[in-house]
Structure 1
Amino acid sequence: MSLSLDAKALVAIFGVSGTLHLTRPRLYQPLMPDFVPAHREVIYASGVAELACAAGLLHPRTRRLAGYAGAALLVLVFPGNVKMADDARRSRSTRFKTIAYGRLPLQLPMIRAAWRAARTTD
């Protein structure tokens, strides 16, 4: 079975985001909650993890592991999205608020896509 459209979208999202984590880590610095240690290292590690999940989802032999890992990764980065929304709440920028609040509900379909991809058999 080939990848579903939502899983293909997830591969693209992980690929772009993972690349940005590695090439422009400063974009993600403001999302880091204070309780997370070693911000820069965690940003790089999450970028590597996103790229690994994207690559793993593409191959049937690694799709199960990559799908479950991708779902877990999305759950683990959720506090950063919540922090971004909280920061946006205090901002005057409507654009920032729209982006920050818009990201929160998108996590659920992304987690669902990763979970479904893990459960597909080829």
Structure 2
Amino acid sequence: MARTIARWLLAIAYLLAGYLHVTMPAPFLSITPDWVPFPAYVIYWTGMAEVAGAVGLLQPFGPRLRQAAGIGLALYALCVWPANINHFAMDMARTDNGLGLAYHVPRMILQPVLIWLALWVGNVIDWPFGRNRRHAR
């Protein structure tokens, strides 16, 4: 039951994030590292990837698509980490520290949790909870 609730919450969060990436890209463009080519397109397609991953997590047709969505969202969270690091560095270089350490430190800690959560709710991993007895047979 906990995994199902977490799966729905993560999917809703990614649906919202994807919607924001597509409809209001300016904040995301402002934190995109300079080395990213065609940043507007990258922001748009990352939003679409978030929506696709969320839909994959919520689909009712067997576990394979949910597993693929979990892997995809975990890889997505790993790949966008440089933008989060860039945002952290940009804010800390500002005289007012932007959003500050109270925002950025938890955000940096949360990224590996999001990666793990996507894999867990997608039924790719069971760590640290171990296999349910039903699945062990």
- Residues 1:69 and 2:68 aligned together: no
* TM-score after normalising by structure 1: 0.88
**Shift in CA distance, 100/2, structure 1 to aligned 2, threshold 3 Å:** closer
Counterpart amino acid of residue 8 in structure 1 = W
Alpha-carbon contact 1:3-1:58 (below 8 Å) kept? no
Q: As a proportion of its length, which structure holds more helix? A: 1
CA offset digits 1:4-58 (Å, max 9, x no partner): 3332221122111100000100010121111110000000000000000011001
What does residue range 1-122 of structure 1 map to in structure 2 within 5 Å?
3-60=3-60, 61=62, 62-93=65-96, 96-97=99-100, 98-119=102-123
- Which moved further from structure 2: 83-92 or 19-28? 83-92
Runs of 4+, deviation exceeding 6 Å: none
Alpha-carbon contact 2:7-2:58 (below 8 Å) kept? no
- The higher relative CO (CA closer than 8 Å, separation ≥ 6) is in 1
* TM-score after normalising by structure 2: 0.79
Unaligned runs of 5+ in 2: 125-137
Counterpart amino acid of residue 11 in structure 2 = V
For residues 98 and 7 of structure 2, what CA distance do their matches in structure 1 show? 28
| Structure exhibiting the larger radius of gyration computed from Cα positions | 2
Alpha-carbon shift at residue 90 of structure 1 (Å): 1.4
**Shift in CA distance, 88/48, structure 1 to aligned 2, threshold 3 Å:** same
